[in-house]
Chains A and B, each alone.
Chain A
């Protein structure tokens, strides 16, 4: 055998590519609506070339070589775009693993009695495994990025300060209240109090799934800060379970004005501002 495995595969790259793409297309559940055949072909061709270049090297798994970096970069790009598009890990993994299959099936035909020399198949195996691990790392990282971005978006969206009446602000809190979130909530609320010269702020926690001692601590902080600014704070939307938890945990909310529902809080806010809501009495027609 005169040709090294890298050169051999270079010669047969057309066959490898066809067989690889076939395997990918046969894979069940491939999301055809997400990616076109041309796209797969383009991605596959690009990656295949870089892997073949890599196989020509003596130590293919050397992670520091320029060839490996190039292959890794291409792979990372493909994986990231797939993770963003909502591919499953399996579908992303198949992309790399099916290439191994394609390599070996093409090589088998090249060697006598259909057996690929152990050293060569080992080389391909090791390299492809290294690349597969890389795929999963990249896949998970980009998924985590998506999650992080969504988390920050949620926390930004979910802290609106609403002016329900002249001098009354309402702040529905949805989702868990952690320290970072409390900071945002507090800042938004205090800024809004200054801006609108409101004297009453209603903190509605009906969207908070659970209240533990830390969350309660944060609530107390927010209420105290509001009080320092010279406004009153009412906490509303306390569900029965939350009331139970608060008492069981021994949290003292006696200094804080609490109401069961937003409507009750609003009613008491109206009373504080000496406002009255009345049904209009229709005047009898003459």
Chain B
């Protein structure tokens, strides 16, 4: 079964969606991500959707849900690289994703995440593994 990989990088989780997100896949991503945040107590989630060309109301809702869930688990979510067509579609669907932070590309997304964490006074070192 297809699975969207979630990469852990320091205190952040990186998700790159490179296939069209169908409903089951999106639901799995949602639960995997929440579990990962819990497991690694991550402080930031970065979702790159620059390769996504098609979006529907379900996926819009999933993105919103992920952001809300991460918020509860004390992690910030940034969605980066949205295509213009996707943005217009989401707006026309009436889903402005108000709880989600957005950035133009991965680089700017990381900067934004770091700023958010600084605001929270959370310092993330590159190595947060407690095992070492």
Tell me, in angstroms, the Cα distance from A44 to B39 when the chains sit together.
90
Also in contact, A190 and B84, with CB within 8 A (given A228-B90, A228-B97) = yes
Contacts of A229 in B (CB 8 A): 82, 84, 87, 102, 104
Q: Is the CB of B96 within 8 A of A227?
A: yes
Binds B, one of A63-71, A90-98, A192-200, A276-284: A192-200
Q: Is B44 an interface residue (CB 8 A)?
A: no
Asked if A230 and B84 make an inter-chain contact with CB atoms under 8 angstroms apart, the answer reads no
User: Within 8 Å of chain B (Cβ to Cβ): is A84?
Assistant: no
User: Is B108 in contact with chain A by the CB < 8 A criterion?
Assistant: yes
Q: Is A108 an interface residue (CB 8 A)?
A: no
- State how many angstroms separate the Cβ of B64 from the closest Cβ of chain A: 12
Residue A11 CB within 8 A of the other chain: no
Structural contact, A231 and B97, CB atoms closer than 8 A: no
Flag A130-169 by CB within 8 Å of B: 1 or 0 each: 0000000000000000000000000000000000000000
B91 in contact with A221 (CB, 8 Å): yes
Binary per-residue interface labels of chain A (183-217) against chain B in the complex, 1 for a CB within 8 Å, 0 otherwise:
10011001101100111000000000000000000
Which chain B positions have C-beta within 8 A of A198?
A: 104
- Whether B88 sits at the interface, judged by CB under 8 Å, is yes
Is A224 in contact with chain B by the CB < 8 A criterion?
yes
B105–A228 CB distance below 8 A = no
A-B residue pair count with CB separations less than 8 angstroms:
56
Contacts of B108 in A (CB 8 A): 197, 199, 230
Contact with A along B63-88 (1 / 0, CB 8 A): 00000000000000001111110111
- Nearest residue, chain B, Cβ from A221: B91
Q: Shortest CB–CB separation between residue B56 and chain A, in angstroms?
A: 15
Q: Does A225 contact B (CB under 8 A)?
A: yes
Partner of B91, one of A194, A199, A228: A228
Chain A CB within 10 A, most for which of B87, B90, B103: B87
Interface size class of A (residues with CB under 8 A): 10 to 19
* Contact for A225 among B87, B103, B104, CB less than 8 A: B87
Interface of B is mostly: mixed
Considering the chains assembled together, what is the distance between the CA atoms of A121 and B87 in angstroms? 69
Residues of A within 8 A of B97 (CB): 228
Q: Are B82 and A228 within 8 A (Cβ)? A: yes
CA distance A226 to B96 in the complex (A): 10
Q: What is the CA–CA distance of A193 and B84 in the complex, to the nearest angstrom?
A: 9
- Give Cα A228 to B88, complex, Å: 9
Whether A224 contacts B88 by the Cβ 8 Å rule is: no
Q: A228 and B102 in contact (CB under 8 A), knowing A191-B84, A221-B91?
A: yes
Query: Considering only CB atoms, which chain A residue lies closest to B90 in the complex?
Result: A228
Contact status A225-B91, CB under 8 Å? yes
Which B residues are in CB contact (< 8 Å) with A183? 88
Contact of A230 among B91, B96, B102 (CB under 8 A): B102
Q: Is the CB–CB distance between B88 and A225 below 8 Å?
A: yes
Contact status B80-A230, CB under 8 Å: yes
Contact B91 A190 (CB under 8 A): no
Assess the A224–B96 pair: CB atoms within 8 A: yes
CB < 8 Å neighbour of A197 from B84, B90, B104: B104
Residues of B within 8 A of A194 (CB): 83-84, 104
Q: Which residues of A lie under 8 Å from residue B83 when comparing CB positions?
A: 194
Which A residues are CB-close (under 8 A) to B87? 190, 225-226, 228-229
**B109 interface hit (Cβ, 8 Å):** yes
The 3 closest A-B CB pairs, nearest first, are A190-B84, A230-B103, A230-B102
